[in-house]
Amino acid sequence: MAIGLIIVGDEILSGKRVDQHLPKVIALLKERGLSLDWAEYVGDDRARITATLQRSFASGDIVFSTGGIGATPDDHTRQCAAAALGLSVVLHPEAQELIHQRIVEMNLTLDIPTELYGPDYWRRLQMGEFPEGAAIIPNSFNKIPGFAINNHYFVPGFPVMAWPMIAWVLDTHYSHLFHQQPHDEKALLVYEIAESTLTPMMETLEAAYPLIKVFSLPSVGSETIRRHIELGVKGEPTQVAAAFVEMCSGLDALRAEYELI
C-alpha cells in the first residue's frame, strides 16, 4: 500500500506558517522502514478538500491528513471527509466523553469556566463530530481526538498533537509493515559534468537492476563547492551494491571527477 499525506490550511499556502509536517512524517516513516509516496497541500476550501479526499479515498492508499478538524468557521476537513464518502457527520460518543473531560479539566484552571451544556460547550463538542462509522485517534496532548476512516487518519494541524498521533497510528495499525522492504542507498558527487552525459549510464543501470532507482540531484554550486551532481542508487541492498560498483566504473570510463559521500 502506498502512503500519502494531505496538509490542509490557508496559513501554509499564504506563508503565515511554514509546514513542518512533511519532513516529520518522512522521518516517522523512515524510522519504521517505510516511505512516503505522495503529498498534497490544500487550502481551507470545502470543494477542493472534498475533491482531494474523494481521489485519495478511491486510491486505497494509507493517508494521513493534518489540519482543519477544529470547530472554527475555517475548519472543514471533518465535513469534507464525510461528503467525500457520502456519509453523515455524527457526534462520536467516545469523542464526546473525551471532550467533556477536557472541558471539565480546563474549567478548574480558568477564571471564567465554560458553562457546562451552554452554547460554548456544545460548540466545542463539534470537534467530536466525525463521518458516521469513524474511529477515534487518541490525542495524548489534550484529549481532543482525531478520527480514522477507510485507511485515512485525520489529526490536528498542531505538530505537538499531530506527530504523536501519527506515530500511534503507525505503531498500532501498521507494525506488520515495518522494515519489510530491505533498503540501501549509495551516492557520490560528480563534478563539472552535464546531466545529459550521465543519462545513458543511468538508464542502463535501471534496466540491468530492476530493484533499484537511480537518482541525480544537480547543483550549480556555491562559494564553497563547485558545480556538481549528487548521483546515486537506492533500493534492494544487493542490487544497490552491484549497481554502484558499475556506476563508478562508468564514471571512470567517462574520466569524470567524483568523490564518495
User: pLDDT digit string (tens) for 7-61?
Assistant: 999 999 999 999 999 999 999 999 999 999 999 999 999 999 999 999 999 999 9
Largest interatomic CA distance in the chain: 78
Q: What does the pLDDT average to over 203-224?
A: 96
Could you give the percent of the chain with pLDDT greater than 90?
Answer: 97
- Residue 122: predicted pLDDT: 94
Residue 249 CB coordination number (10 Å): 11
Query: 20: which 3 cell numbers?
Result: 513542518
For 56-114, what is each residue's pLDDT tens digit? 999 999 999 999 999 999 999 999 999 999 999 999 999 999 999 999 999 999 898 99
* C-alpha span between 18 and 173 (Å, rounded): 29
- Spell out a b/e string for 77-101, using b for 16 or more CB atoms within 10 Å of the CB, else e: bbbbbbbbbebebeebeebeebbbe
Could you give the percent of the chain with pLDDT greater than 70?
Answer: 100
Name the phi and psi angles at 118, rounded to 5. -90, 180
- Residue 1: predicted pLDDT: 79
Q: Is a pLDDT exceeding 90 seen at residue 240?
A: yes
Name the 3-class secondary structure at 222.
coil
Report all structural domains of the chain as residue ranges with CATH numbers, in order of start: 3-177 (3.40.980.10), 184-260 (3.30.70.2860)
Name the phi and psi angles at 214, rounded to 5. -100, 135
Q: Tell me the pLDDT of the chain averaged across its residues.
A: 96
Q: Would you say 157 and 141 are in contact if contact means Cβ atoms under 8 Å apart? A: no
Between 54-68, 106-120, 163-177, 223-237, the lowest mean confidence (pLDDT) is in 106-120
Q: Would you say 64 and 37 are in contact if contact means Cβ atoms under 8 Å apart? A: no
